[in-house]
């Protein structure tokens, strides 16, 4: 079965619906509103849409955004009141997610000749994830105390 653009977009929206269902059932611990839980994956899709990425790129990028949201919600819910400003750490790390998605979309469009859809999804997931982790490390080390995600370099 060949994946089309529409199938890819539907898979991405299913992932967004899963995150929203989890947040409504378990409680939105990010405390940034449901608009944020919807907006982050949609913004992550933009580089793939602009560069007309191959099949399953959108699903891979959305999966990376969903994983970051779910991990942050799990960390906040397990830390209780000591969660601090972890939600702001995620908010300020989203530009790294978009940059990572943009770089991986550009690589797939102009440099890497990946034809298997799952390889494309993996490259999108890893690109978005690496971009987010780099931004999160910078933000949570220098600007915001992200609780368990902060690296204690400064005193």
pLDDT (tens place) for every residue of the chain, 155 residues total: 677 888 888 988 999 898 888 888 876 666 777 888 888 989 998 888 888 888 888 999 999 999 998 888 888 777 666 556 677 888 888 999 999 999 999 988 888 887 788 888 999 999 999 999 999 888 888 877 776 666 665 55
The reported pLDDT for the residue numbered 61 is 93
The Cβ of residue 27 has, within 10 Å, a number of other Cβ atoms equal to: 12
Distances (CA, A) of 77 to 30, 54, 83, 141, 155: 9, 36, 8, 21, 26
The reported pLDDT for the residue numbered 6 is 86
- Token pair listed for 97: 């997610």
Q: Give the integer Cα–Cα distance in Å for 71 and 63.
A: 12
The reported pLDDT for the residue numbered 88 is 81
CA dihedral 91, 96, 100, 102 (to 10 degrees): 80
The reported pLDDT for the residue numbered 67 is 93
The reported pLDDT for the residue numbered 1 is 62
The reported pLDDT for the residue numbered 28 is 64
Q: Give the integer Cα–Cα distance in Å for 112 and 141.
A: 33
Spatial neighbors of 142 by CB under 8 A, at least 6 apart, are 154
pTM of the model: 0.86
Residue ranges with strand state E in the chain: none
Closest CA to 100 of 65, 64, 131: 131
The reported pLDDT for the residue numbered 36 is 84
CA 125 from chain centre, in angstroms, equals: 8
The reported pLDDT for the residue numbered 96 is 94
The reported pLDDT for the residue numbered 60 is 93
Q: Give the integer Cα–Cα distance in Å for 72 and 38.
A: 15
């Amino acid at each position: 079965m060949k994946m089309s653009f529409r199938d890819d977009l539907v898979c991405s929206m299913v992932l967004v619906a899963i995150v929203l269902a989890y947040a409504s059932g378990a409680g939105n611990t990010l405390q940034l509103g449901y608009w944020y839980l919807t907006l982050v994956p949609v913004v992550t899709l933009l580089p793939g849409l602009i560069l007309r990425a191959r099949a399953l790129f959108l699903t891979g990028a959305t999966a990376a955004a969903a994983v970051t949201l779910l991990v942050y919600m799990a960390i906040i819910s397990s830390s209780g009141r000591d969660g601090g400003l972890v939600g702001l750490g995620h908010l300020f790390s989203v530009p790294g997610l978009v940059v990572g998605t943009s770089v991986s979309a550009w690589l797939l469009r102009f440099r890497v000749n990946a034809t298997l859809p799952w390889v494309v999804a993996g490259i999108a997931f890893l690109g978005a994830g690496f971009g987010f982790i780099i931004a999160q490390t910078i933000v949570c080390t220098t600007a915001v105390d992200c609780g368990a995600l902060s690296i204690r370099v400064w005193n």
